[in-house]
Amino acid sequence: MEYKDYYDIMGVSKEATQDEIKRAYRKLARKYHPDVSKEQDAEKKFKEVGEAYEVLKDPEKRAAYDQLGANWQAGQDFRPPPDWDAGFEFSGGGYTQGDSAAFSDFFESLFGQRGFRGAGMGAGSGAGFQMRGEDHHAKILIDLEDAYKGTTRTISLRVPEVDAQGHVRTRERTLNVRIPKGVHQGQQIRLAGQGAPGLGSGPQGDLYLEVEFNPHSFYRVESRDIFLELPVAPWEAALGAKVKAPTPDGTVDLSIPPDSKAGRKLRLKGRGIPGKTPGDLYVILQIALPPANTEKAKELYTKMQQELAFNPRAGLGV
């Protein structure tokens, strides 16, 4: 297990006041919030910051963490010293409303089990009591092509469970899930009865999977529509041509109308993500210039220069 430097993660000094820590957290949380952030690894960073704040915002946990000593380096192999937390009392459940399953092993070893013991649901609480299990949420990454054909994915989820001694353990749960075709970015897939077990004879909750596409090297996805930037030769754009264009569903023949300009958008109706109302595929033309790296090419460019009265900057008045 690696030691985590919570102060470093929050970008504050060890002497930071509680107010400074709160301000640092708010700023980082806005920056990395997975719903709004476009940063890479936003979700991972957001969880890290959340975990650091979980400890540093609570003077009791912060004091306990501080007395581990200042000599630890982030990433260093770490074992909590025995009785490291003797003399500290954690009031209120150690786990918070936060997504406790997302916290690191490091956090777990320090605060996880102890905190939960007090707050855990007593065994056999209230005979006959029943409640539907909680709904769970997870993210699933698929390829764009999978949305066209449907796919089956094996996913592993870490589920926190309370064992007979009242300790929290995370258990790996593996599910094979069929992803229906026509799913798009940000959509949820509901798996009935795959959430948390119910209490008493209450039914099991549902599992929701939020779909996210792996970034694609040449397609861009917006809702059901797909965008593709297609390079064409100057003569194809000028004279019109039939060219091949890739789609997630296979190669298609595409007619380029004569006198096309760079940036021209061609719509392939219904070639986006399939569904009752299928999306469209937009091809945006990009004019690729042949390099003038041979005598022949230079000669052709020179000929165009001499014979075509063409001023690309006419619209700028120069």
Partner 1 sequence: MSEKVLTGLIVNEDMTLTLAELSRACCVHAEWIVALVDEGILEPQGNVRTGWCFSGPSLRRARIAVHLQQDLGVNLAGAALVLDLMEELESLRRQVPFPGRET
What residue ranges bind partner 1 (CB under 8 A)?
26, 29-30, 33-36, 46, 50, 97, 132, 134-135, 137, 152, 174-180, 182-183, 186-192, 194, 205-206, 208-210, 220, 222-223, 225, 227, 229, 262-263, 275-276, 282, 284, 286
CB 85 → partner 1: shortest distance, Å?
27
Using the minimum distance from each CB to partner 1, give the nearer residue, 16 or 155: 155
CA-to-CA distance for 216 and 254, rounded, in angstroms?
21
Provide, rounded to whole angstroms, the least separation between the CB of residue 245 and partner 1. Answer: 15
Q: How far is the CB of 32 from partner 1 (least distance, A)?
A: 10
- Taking the least distance from each CB to partner 1, the nearer of 74 and 192 is 192
- Alpha-carbon distance of 212 to 186, in angstroms, equals 6
Could you give the CA distance from residue 62 to residue 75 in angstroms, rounded to a whole number? 19
Q: Which long-range contacts (CB under 8 A, 24 or more apart) does 259-265 make?
A: 260/232, 260/285, 261/237, 261/285, 262/237, 262/286, 262/287, 264/237
- By beta-carbon proximity to partner 1, the closer residue of 101 and 177 is 177
Please say which residue, 78 or 271, places its beta carbon nearer to partner 1. 271
Question: CB-wise, 117 or 220, nearer to partner 1?
Answer: 220
**For partner 1, which is the closer residue by CB, 139 or 169?**
139
Give residues with Cβ within 8 angstroms of 142, minimum separation 6. 151, 153, 179, 183, 211, 212, 213, 214
Smallest gap from Cβ 75 to partner 1, in A, equals 26
Question: Side chain identity at 193, as an amino acid letter?
Answer: G
Pairwise CA distance, residues 253 & 248, whole Å: 14
CA distance 13 to 17: 9
- Residue (34 or 290) nearer to partner 1, CB: 34
Q: What phi-psi label fits residue 307: left (phi over 0), alpha (psi between -120 and 50 degrees) or beta? A: alpha
Minimum CB–partner distance for residue 280 and partner 1 (Å): 11
Give the shortest CB-277-to-partner 1 separation in angstroms.
8
Q: Which two three-digit tokens encode residue 9?
A: 């993660």
CB of 135 to partner 1, least distance (A): 5
40 or 176, CB closer to partner 1? 176
**DSSP percent split of the chain into helix, strand, coil, nearest 5:** 30, 25, 45
Whose CA is closest to 17, among 61, 55, 57? 57
Q: Under a CB-based contact definition with an 8 Å cutoff, are residues 246 and 228 in contact?
A: yes
The torsion region of residue 220 among left (phi > 0), alpha (psi -120 to 50) and beta comes to: beta
* Cβ 131 to partner 1 shortest distance, Å: 11
